[in-house]
Amino acid sequence: PTYRVAVGVRRTPLFRPHLDMASVRYPNVLITGTPGTGKSATAMAVVAQLPQMTHVEIGALVRDKQLHEGWDDDLQCHILDEDRICDELEEQMENGGVLVDFHGADLFPERWFDLVVVLRTDNSVLYPRLENRGYTEKKLSENMEAEIMQVILDETRGAYREEIVVELRSNDLEGLESNVARIIAWVNDWRKNQAAQAVEPSV
């Protein structure tokens, strides 16, 4: 039998490279800041609206999986086993979409994060928040001093590229809402960017 080939029909120009947004990876975000600045409140609100992302609170992970080398009575906190914390998270970070919540920034590999948010709170607002937690006088004053001296902000700036570090104020509910909206908008823009880059013809 003979086959007729419709030479006039060219399929190639109709083919438009298209990437399904659902298959685009989610970025990894670190939310850091002095205890009480609102990391957990912010992270919980983000994942409530972006359920594709997972909130990982390092403090809870350390307690659940015993990723520490005991309790420091003087500082009233666990002595972290940083290597085990990073090992525990490595695979999850590779998949993306992790919102890490921790009051430290430089124990993680730099390559993990696409965005790093440092939350800041005014002294007069932070003090009663920490008092509510029943912190000892020593722990309270150490945390207040750390916030005043912007210890976490400096640590974060020393550990990540300037372009990915954002400092946000977290004093009131209005601030909280706007921070959450900013993070969500940023995540969505980042994914659109990834998708656009993926379909761009390679040169």
Given the rule CB under 6 A, which residues bind ligand DAT?
Answer: 33, 35-41, 129, 170-173, 175-176
Q: Which is nearer to ligand DAT, 87 or 131 (CB)?
A: 131
Q: Which is nearer to ligand DAT, 178 or 194 (CB)?
A: 178
CA dihedral 84, 89, 93, 95 (to 10 degrees): 130
With b meaning 16 or more CB within 10 Å and e meaning fewer, what string describes 98-117?
bbbbbbbbeebeeebbbbbb
Smallest gap, in angstroms, from Cβ of residue 36 to ligand DAT? 5
Smallest gap, in angstroms, from Cβ of residue 18 to ligand DAT? 40
Q: Which is nearer to ligand DAT, 153 or 191 (CB)?
A: 153
Q: Which is nearer to ligand DAT, 55 or 191 (CB)?
A: 55
How many residues are recorded in the chain? 203
**Which residue has 């440092």 as its token pair?**
118
Q: Are 52 and 164 in contact (CB under 8 A)?
A: no
Smallest gap, in angstroms, from Cβ of residue 46 to ligand DAT? 12
CA dihedral 24, 119, 55, 62 (to 10 degrees): 130
Q: Are 133 and 63 in contact (CB under 8 A)?
A: no
Smallest gap, in angstroms, from Cβ of residue 192 to ligand DAT? 28
Q: Are 192 and 198 in contact (CB under 8 A)?
A: no
Smallest gap, in angstroms, from Cβ of residue 174 to ligand DAT? 8
The beta strands (E) that lie in 154-201 are given as: 165-169
**CA dist., res. 86 & res. 54, Å (int):** 16
Q: Are 198 and 19 in contact (CB under 8 A)?
A: yes
Q: Which is nearer to ligand DAT, 64 or 83 (CB)?
A: 64
Smallest gap, in angstroms, from Cβ of residue 153 to ligand DAT? 14
Q: Which is nearer to ligand DAT, 129 or 157 (CB)?
A: 129
Q: Which residue is nearest to ligand DAT (CB)?
A: 38
